[in-house]
Structure 1
Amino acid sequence: MRPLTAQDPDQLGRYRLLAQIGRGGMGQVLLGQGPDGRLVAVKQIHRQFTGNPEFQARFRREVLASQQVTGAYTAGVVDHDAESATPWLASEYIAGPALQDMIAEYGKLTVSGLKLLATGLAMALLEIHRTGLVHRDLKPSNVLLTNDGPRVIDFGIARALEDDLALTQTGTVLGSPAYMSPEQAECRPLTAASDVFAVGAILAMAATGASPFEAASTPQVLYNVLYTAADTSAVPPPLRPIVEACLAKDPAARPTPEQLLDLAGRIEAEPVWPVRIRRHIADCHAEAMAWADGTARSATPQAPAPPKKRWQRLVPIAAGVSVLTLVAIAITGIGQEGTAVAMDDPPLALTDDETRGLDVCALMKPDVLGELGTAVGELVPGGVTGCRVYYLDQSGQKIYFGLETSIPVGETRSGNQPMGTTINWMPVLGRYREALSCDRSVVTQSGLPLALTMTATPNAGNGCPAAERALAAVVRRLAVNPPLRADAPDSVLRMDACTLIDIAATSAVVGDPVRERTPHGCAATGRDGYFAVDIDDRVRPDNVVGGKVRPTTTIAGREVYVHHEAETYCEFIVMIRPTRDDRAEQVHTTYYSTLPDPPDTCDTAAGLLAPALAKLPTS
């Protein structure tokens, strides 16, 4: 836990707030204490999401679902205010770690621990399904460990069985990739058997130390869920038949929670956690009490946690608290039309329109990067693809941050190396482990090719940690609510730049080109050169540059500005329309020849630009 910041409230409802438990893209979780001294976990939603009617409706459903489930193996809701300026929900605080954290720290469970886990999860399902709900997001981070057994939390995407078909028909099905059932991955109607499949995946992970469907990318994880039989050879024999039955692809072949409880009860072992986990549970309780009595505020900070193992990074770790995990963020589903929604650290999935319409400077504002310090000075846009700004960190040091989205994916991958960490399942790339001016990049795994590159340059020291933290904050915001520009409906910024390249004509000039796309650009590169088109909103080309007026020429009856002209290359600018101040939407083309004695490059470039002019709006 961490101390509250100046931005955190001192109280919500009747609960005095004590510390930060965790923070995500949609909100944060705080430790609170009621007038009677009882500790609660308070989920508070970020203010910027409260104006979204869909989100508000989902949060109200979360409250209603959570209030219905009150069994000994779940965490009950004690209070809420879904209608306030910043909605919040208080649930019973469970002073115990998440199962996922314990497997990461201590390794796989013993048979005794597995029996207690299986029994407790079966009891939790009985209580959840008794109310007519399907949990939909059972996973190791949503299972807390107490001395009495596991507790299931997070009913943020739980849904009544009779409502499920209508929800599925909208094209949205919810869950977490490595623990969702095949019917969830295919966006089919769900039954209680879907939760049983998730229990099987959780038991397999607890028994082996890794998800049974682990893979390097989200699409591969979902493919494994749908079509690959889980490898259960490392699961202890007493538990193996239970896991295999739960992981049946056919829902009808899985055991019911009652049958699962019966099977778990037949395991010949004492249902108890390993000693080291029981000690950790005691430590969690002691930490909560220290925050409650005020002694934690003067405690010595703990040493940084050791680097995570690879599988830990692939399946994100959640805070071990009795609170509903931060709600739904879409990822692309497979098998049927629709989307699957991952609740924790989801893969980043943007539509093509969102990728082209991103307001990059909005991603550099304090509501995104505020955890890194205080913004100073103005945001400085670099067209529509970049932005830079200065922040003062908590020590008062000035740090320059720059975000760029126009670097091609191929260039990003070839010019960097993996840093050994991930952000929302995307490997973090960089040129240097340590540097004063440091870049960190991630590449999206679906949709339009998009590389996000964050640069951090402090006054002194190593800028790499700040670059990665800032990049993670940007990705969190993109995953839940990507900020978009207010472009005109017919704005050229909405166009796919590759549609402006006549591939036949370009192939004849550069020779068998390979195209590489960015959100606002397209380059066709062949053996004899390349032709590239970039669309942007920059300083108007008719401005005086260095005391000189940029020359113009006429191509296909249209005035075009000559940006650069040389023996081997030529660049043109087509101004589409003024936008604001001294800026304008424009199309920038570049032709470069690798031939030893090329013909007039601007004549060649004009021939390649002419077909594109017919597709562009008039100035």
Structure 2
Amino acid sequence: MITALSSDDPNTVSRYRILGLLGAGGMGRVLLGLGPDGRFVAIKQIHSRLLDDGDYRSRFHREVAISTRVSGAFTAAVVDFDTTGEIPWLASVFIAGVPLDTAVGQYGALPVASVRTLASGLASALHSIHTTGLIHRDLKPANVILAKDGPRVIDFGIARGTESEESLTEVGSVLGSPAYMSPEQAGAGAITAASDIFSLGSLLYMAATGMSPFAAASAPVTLFNIVHTEPDLAPVPEQLRELIAGCLRKDPRERPTAAQILDYLGILAIQGNPWPAPIHQDIAAQTARMRELTADPERTQIILGAPPHRLVPPDQPKRRRGRLLGVACAVVIVIVAATAAVALLRGNTPAPPNAAGPAAVMPTLAQLRGVDACAWLRQALGPTLPQSVATGVRRETDSWRWTTTSSWGCDGSSGTGRMIVEIGGALMGFASTQREVGQLDLLRRGRDCAFAVAGSEQASWGISVDIGLAVDCALAEYAIDRLVAALPSLVVDPAIARSLASIDPCDLVTEEEIRAAGSSGPGVPTAHSCSWGGDGRVRVDVGRPDDLDSGTILAINAVDIGEGTLVYNADFNLGRDDRGCSSTYRFRAVDASRHETVTVRVVGSSLAVRRCPAGEAIVAGLVTRLPQR
């Protein structure tokens, strides 16, 4: 959502008039600007809280240097920048178009001809990027804009030169988007231009089918699939299989180069409209609205709640933007359909069916822990689901395959989609949509088709529905609406109540054990985890993961901590100075491939905290507090 500027925000950045805030990320924010020549630009600025950090300034300077090296018909051109001022900034051309993930999510998979146009444009963009000695490293649907004359590649925030060995990883971050990483990225191997080609293959697969070839219910499983499993090419149209299969070869030496892809595709037939008609209609509507914003330099705000095309009526007095944005009615800038060159927005989705229905009452975590999520979900959804965006076919609930997740949620899948529901899980990344469902605040995670409601205003947990890769937002909203409506029908399942699912993880550890691990403070709970802050961060997770999901390293890192109690340790890195150790105890077998487990993670930058021994000590204590098997 584009929001109004605060009183502390500037009215101008250099020669650009600022109209509103497009969005923000971990490193900076992006503003919508209007140049003196009437062109719209997306202006990226570093966050003010990071201005005193030399590392962040250096990284922003590197992004600017990289972005200015890139040129070509299929990239978003840099038009201006300043890296030495009080607040560094970078201005890029505003692309009128629809992000690829939004296009597929709203209108389904692209036809073969459109995918070939997409492949040719992206290969041309990568050829321009690679010939300058750069690697994009984050090619994903959200970073591709479908403009009226072809695709555009945007966002070089984590790009780097092929000759550079410098790590750009930030503390607590993953470099790249898991579902579109290459095996080299997933396995921390050497990154070359071939990594972008693998990402291109995953992106084309998604464009042609509406789903990712490797995405799973969790990031670890997704990365495992990328490294170890071959993609199922059956859903890919036959005309595209050879191209996509070549890009998705595990060995980077066997993948084609961008130039070879262009040679393979050859000269494509000229298309006046390369995308399906609804996408071009969205582009035309956005372009028309942008023209309205330039018609009168002092009438660039749209009244909240008015139709997107209706500006301030002519009979009202003109006001300067600063005054408009300061009034109590909270004027915001609205630009619908596609986003700026940074692709920080998604298209609008319909409001939930019972948004104005009776008020819902959220259960407590203790109540949610004993619920059979799949049984509750199937009851809430009813016999028939809304029709598929990709196929237009109505879906029967019983035709889906419903399985319990590692955190006692529910994972539903069919030939036309996927749905993952978590009850009592963390809501990291979710933010208010300014809409309600059952009079509860409806939350959404970024531009994903993932919606949630929180346990309370203060709670960091709630009930969430994730459709995965932005292919069916209407289904996600339908599901969260039905779940909220079915809250009064929640029933505790005796079998789950007898499992580790019913355990409050915060009760498994004492204050003394937390302090001994270098942490402190009260535990922050979700249904099946509890975390403590402090220099040595501690988290306890209770789950029932698949043994492969637990990591094959568990088989070789077993430690006997006394009386035959085995703990499986695994070291991990969150950043240069932020390391950790996870210690997993297998409580009991669920079936041939799953165990109920308790995992203790100890993370910290202090060398005084011996992380694996600290985790082992906590496990030794909590084992005595677990129920009898």
* TM-score under structure 2 length normalisation: 0.52
Q: CA deviation at 1:134?
A: 0.3
1:161 maps to which residue? 162
1:282 maps to which residue? 284
The code of the aligned residue for 1:5 comes to: L
Instruction: Pick closer, same or farther for the CA change 1:177–1:75 going to 2, 3 Å.
Output: same
1:124 maps to which residue? 125
Aligned match of 2:439 in 457, 462, 465? 462
Q: What is the rounded CA distance, in whole Å, between the counterparts of 2:220 and 2:61 in structure 1?
A: 31
Instruction: Pick closer, same or farther for the CA change 1:285–1:114 going to 2, 3 Å.
Output: same
Aligned match of 2:342 in 323, 348, 352? 323
- Out of 165-174 and 192-201, give the one that drifted further: 165-174
2:231 maps to which residue? 230
Instruction: Pick closer, same or farther for the CA change 1:282–1:537 going to 2, 3 Å.
Output: closer
1:58 maps to which residue? 59
Q: What is the rounded CA distance, in whole Å, between the counterparts of 1:176 and 1:163 in structure 2?
A: 21
The code of the aligned residue for 2:340 comes to: V
SS at match of 1:222: helix
Instruction: Pick closer, same or farther for the CA change 1:267–1:78 going to 2, 3 Å.
Output: closer
Question: Any unmatched runs of 5+ in structure 2?
Answer: 309-336, 347-363, 382-404, 410-421, 433-437, 444-451, 462-498, 523-619, 622-629
2:425 maps to which residue? 443
Q: What is the rounded CA distance, in whole Å, between the counterparts of 1:277 and 1:514 in structure 2?
A: 45
2:534 maps to which residue? none
Indicate if the aligned counterparts of 1:115 and 1:265 stay in contact, CA closer than 8 A.
no
Q: CA deviation at 1:169?
A: 14
Q: CA deviation at 1:81?
A: 2.9
Instruction: Pick closer, same or farther for the CA change 1:202–1:27 going to 2, 3 Å.
Output: same
Indicate if the aligned counterparts of 1:521 and 1:534 stay in contact, CA closer than 8 A.
no
Question: Any unmatched runs of 5+ in structure 1?
Answer: 304-317, 327-343, 345-406, 430-439, 445-449, 456-460, 477-511, 525-530, 539-610, 613-619
SS at match of 1:141: helix
2:294 maps to which residue? 292
Indicate if the aligned counterparts of 1:178 and 1:211 stay in contact, CA closer than 8 A.
yes
The code of the aligned residue for 2:113 comes to: S
Q: What is the rounded CA distance, in whole Å, between the counterparts of 2:429 and 2:122 in structure 1?
A: 40
The code of the aligned residue for 1:323 comes to: V
Q: CA deviation at 1:324?
A: 8.1
SS at match of 2:508: strand
Aligned pairs for 1:56-455 within 5 A = 56-164=57-165, 174-265=175-266, 272-293=274-295, 294=299, 297-298=302-303, 300-301=305-306, 320-323=339-342, 414=371, 443=425
Q: What is the rounded CA distance, in whole Å, between the counterparts of 1:233 and 1:63 in structure 2?
A: 41
Alignment: residue pair count = 387
1:376 maps to which residue? none
SS at match of 1:157: coil
Q: CA deviation at 1:48?
A: 2.0
Q: What is the rounded CA distance, in whole Å, between the counterparts of 1:475 and 1:79 in structure 2?
A: 40
For the aligned residues, what is the CA RMSD?
4.9
2:10 maps to which residue? 9
Q: What is the rounded CA distance, in whole Å, between the counterparts of 2:169 and 2:5 in structure 1?
A: 40
Q: CA deviation at 1:274?
A: 1.7
Q: CA deviation at 1:84?
A: 4.2
Q: What is the rounded CA distance, in whole Å, between the counterparts of 1:57 and 1:256 in structure 2?
A: 31
Instruction: Pick closer, same or farther for the CA change 1:415–1:274 going to 2, 3 Å.
Output: closer
Indicate if the aligned counterparts of 2:283 and 2:338 stay in contact, CA closer than 8 A.
no
Indicate if the aligned counterparts of 2:369 and 2:502 stay in contact, CA closer than 8 A.
no
Indicate if the aligned counterparts of 1:103 and 1:209 stay in contact, CA closer than 8 A.
yes
SS at match of 2:216: coil
Q: What is the rounded CA distance, in whole Å, between the counterparts of 1:35 and 1:426 in structure 2?
A: 55
1:41 maps to which residue? 42
Indicate if the aligned counterparts of 1:454 and 1:471 stay in contact, CA closer than 8 A.
no
The code of the aligned residue for 1:321 comes to: A
SS at match of 2:239: coil
* TM-score under structure 1 length normalisation: 0.53
Q: What is the rounded CA distance, in whole Å, between the counterparts of 1:93 and 1:454 in structure 2?
A: 25
Q: CA deviation at 1:296?
A: 5.3
Instruction: Pick closer, same or farther for the CA change 1:11–1:454 going to 2, 3 Å.
Output: closer
Instruction: Pick closer, same or farther for the CA change 1:191–1:283 going to 2, 3 Å.
Output: same
Q: CA deviation at 1:197?
A: 0.5
Q: CA deviation at 1:32?
A: 0.5
Indicate if the aligned counterparts of 1:103 and 1:206 stay in contact, CA closer than 8 A.
yes
1:394 maps to which residue? none
Aligned pairs for 1:583-602 within 5 A = none
Q: What is the rounded CA distance, in whole Å, between the counterparts of 2:178 and 2:199 in structure 1?
A: 10
Q: What is the rounded CA distance, in whole Å, between the counterparts of 2:253 and 2:164 in structure 1?
A: 20
Indicate if the aligned counterparts of 1:408 and 1:451 stay in contact, CA closer than 8 A.
no
Q: What is the rounded CA distance, in whole Å, between the counterparts of 1:17 and 1:28 in structure 2?
A: 13
Instruction: Pick closer, same or farther for the CA change 1:268–1:147 going to 2, 3 Å.
Output: closer
The code of the aligned residue for 1:443 comes to: G
Q: What is the rounded CA distance, in whole Å, between the counterparts of 2:119 and 2:258 in structure 1?
A: 10
SS at match of 1:16: strand
Measured against aligned partners, the alpha-carbon deviations of 1:532-571 in whole angstroms (never above 9, x if no partner) come to 9787659xxxxxxxxxxxxxxxxxxxxxxxxxxxxxxxxx
Instruction: Pick closer, same or farther for the CA change 1:522–1:102 going to 2, 3 Å.
Output: same
SS at match of 2:217: coil
Q: CA deviation at 1:22?
A: 2.8
Instruction: Pick closer, same or farther for the CA change 1:471–1:280 going to 2, 3 Å.
Output: farther
SS at match of 1:214: coil
Measured against aligned partners, the alpha-carbon deviations of 1:196-243 in whole angstroms (never above 9, x if no partner) come to 011111100000011111211111111111111111211111111000
